[in-house]
Structure 1
Amino acid sequence: MFNLLWGAAFAAVNFGLFLLCYRLFGRTGLYAWVALATVLANVQVVKMIELAGLIMTLGNTIYGTIFLATDLLNEKYGEKAAKRAVWTGFFALLASTVMMQMALRFEPAEADFAQSSLETVFGLLPRLALGSVTAYLVSQYLDVKIFSLLKKAFPKPGQLWIRNNGSTAVSQLLDTIVFCSIAFLGEEGYPFDVWVQIALTTYLIKLAVTLLSTPILYAARAMKAPES
């Protein structure tokens, strides 16, 4: 029960900080948020929790706000601005991965106490790192493209929920399949039925976050944010 209640509070804080970032810094804040969320999502994913009887990794909530940010950028500033955010997040993820892998190669001093902890958090296997980077780039680009197509088909302001949920539901499915396939498929200890369970629960969680974020997107669109 604690994890369920804390999870609700955790989601509220994530969405609240997202709105605050946009309200204070406008479009620049969305680019910064995408970079921040991309890195934090890949740190949080290391931790596993049990929520409502399901074993899952953290990171899905803040990862979902990346799609929220690119959809908002696409809605208010156009497809070009959304694609710029995708590349901003990709660079942040790639740069942080490279720098932390290099940092881990330093030989720690005898008095050091952080090496093992850093290896746990940042010492991801090459397949996990490759899966994360590939899934991010492919799914984000698909999300931007589908949102733009849906914006033409459903252009009314009240149809934002169609554009948001339609694009994110499809792109998050691809994100899940790509990441889980590269990271786990064929690995010892991950038979196909286990892979299916991991992929299914991960996608359902991401889909739930997408649905919950729809009112946040409407609220953000109505905000008067700084021009930047």
Structure 2
Amino acid sequence: MSNEWLWIIFAIINFSLLLGVYRLFGKTGLFVWIGMATVIANVQVVKTIELFGITATLGNILYGTAFLATDILNEKYGKKDAKKAVWLGFSTLLVMTFVMQGALLFTPAEGDIAQSSIETIFGIGPQIALGSLTAYIVSQYFDVWIYTKIRKVFHSNRTLWLRNNASTMISQLLDSAIFCAIAFYGTYPLDIWLEIFLTTYIIKFIVAALDTPFMYWAKSMSRKEEAFND
């Protein structure tokens, strides 16, 4: 099976799992998902693949589900809960970065087989770590803000696709710009830097478009899940 078909199937599975967690655990499930997705996406991002003729990182799908979860919270529960989820995801990412950097300081045993793999996954430079953390908190907060603004103008169920796609696509553009600016600007020639930025955003744009039917599915779910939270 080609990477392209596998990637599409992988996206459908990831978005379906998010809605499954939401169905089972309601709003609490969305909070948990955002924290989990943020951490796992930053592990997956280490792996690069060839996709639609460009080189892409693998974590973009799961990272995109965090934006969908935030939009679901904003749509069904309001801006306050969406902002709380953003800070939860940021705190989870911050703690993971700090704890795993500390873990790398330990001298491995003579027969250890994990150190090199852990260094590959978590041995990120401070510039990349700063870029990742900054991009996440700014873009996610912006997503909450712009979604709320768009909903005031386009508030009907028929325009749900518009506020979902517009907020996520613009926020992901901001996310890519901030991350690439902090993590890579000055490291590569400008033409290479632009290529990294554009290819990163193209994949995120596609992921944002793919989540549209899942947003409608989440909106149609019964609010009976409130029993888990209130």
TM-score, normalised with respect to structure 2? 0.96
Q: 2: distance between equivalents of 1:58 and 1:191? A: 24
After superposition, give the CA deviation of every residue in 1:55-103 in whole Å (9 maximum; x if it has no partner). Answer: 1111111111111001000000000000000000000000011000001
2:205 to 199, 207, 224: 207
Question: Which SS does the other structure have where 1:50 is aligned?
Answer: strand
Amino acid paired to 1:175: D
The CA deviation at 1:140 is 0.4
| 2:122 corresponding residue in structure 1 | 122
Deviation at 1:204, TM superposition (A): 1.0
Report what 1:59 is aligned to: 59
1:192 positional shift: 0.5
Q: Does 1:91 align with 2:124?
A: no
Q: Does 1:33 align with 2:33?
A: yes
**2:42 paired with 1:75:** no
Q: Deviations over 1:141-198 (max 9, x none)?
A: 00000000011111111111111111111111110000001110001xx110011011
Distance in 2 between residues matched to 1:8 and 1:151, nearest whole Å: 29
Aligned-partner Cα distance in 2 for 1:79–1:68: 14
1:30, 1:67 → 2: CA distance?
11
C-alpha separation in 2, matches of 1:153 and 1:25 = 31
Q: Which amino acid letter does the alignment assign opposite residue 63 of structure 1?
A: Y
- The question of 1:195 aligning with 2:193 is answered yes
Q: Name the count of aligned residue pairs.
A: 226
Letter in structure 2 aligned against 1:192: L
Q: Deviation per CA, 1:29-68, whole angstroms, max 9, x where unpaired?
A: 0000000000011101100110121111111111111110
How far 1:16 sits from its partner (Å)?
1.1
Tell me how far 1:135 sits from its aligned partner: 0.1
**Divergent runs of 4+, >6 A:** none
Distance 1:58 1:197 in 2: 17
The letter for the 1-side match of 2:225 is P
| C-alpha separation in 2, matches of 1:87 and 1:146 | 17
Query: What secondary structure does 2:9 align onto?
Result: helix
Is residue 220 from structure 1 mapped to residue 218 from structure 2 by the alignment? yes
Identity of aligned residues (%): 58
- Measure the CA separation in 1 of the matches of 2:169 and 2:17: 23
Cα offset for 1:8? 1.4
Match of 1:137 in 2: 137
Distance 2:54 2:42 in 1: 20
The one-letter code sitting in structure 2 at the alignment partner of 1:182 is: I
* Equivalent position SS for 2:225: coil
1:176-187 to structure 2, matched below 5 A, reads 176-187=176-187
Q: Secondary structure at the match of 1:109?
A: coil
Name the amino acid aligned to 1:202. T
Between stretches 58-67 and 216-225, larger displacement belongs to: 216-225
Write the distance in 2 (CA, Å) between the matches of 1:163 and 1:135: 21
Deviation at 1:223, TM superposition (A): 1.1
Q: Which sections of structure 2, spanning at least 5 residues, go unmatched?
A: none
Local SS of the residue matching 1:166: helix
The corresponding residue for 2:170 is 170
Shift in Å at residue 212 of structure 1? 0.7
Cα distance, 1:5 vs structure 2: 1.6
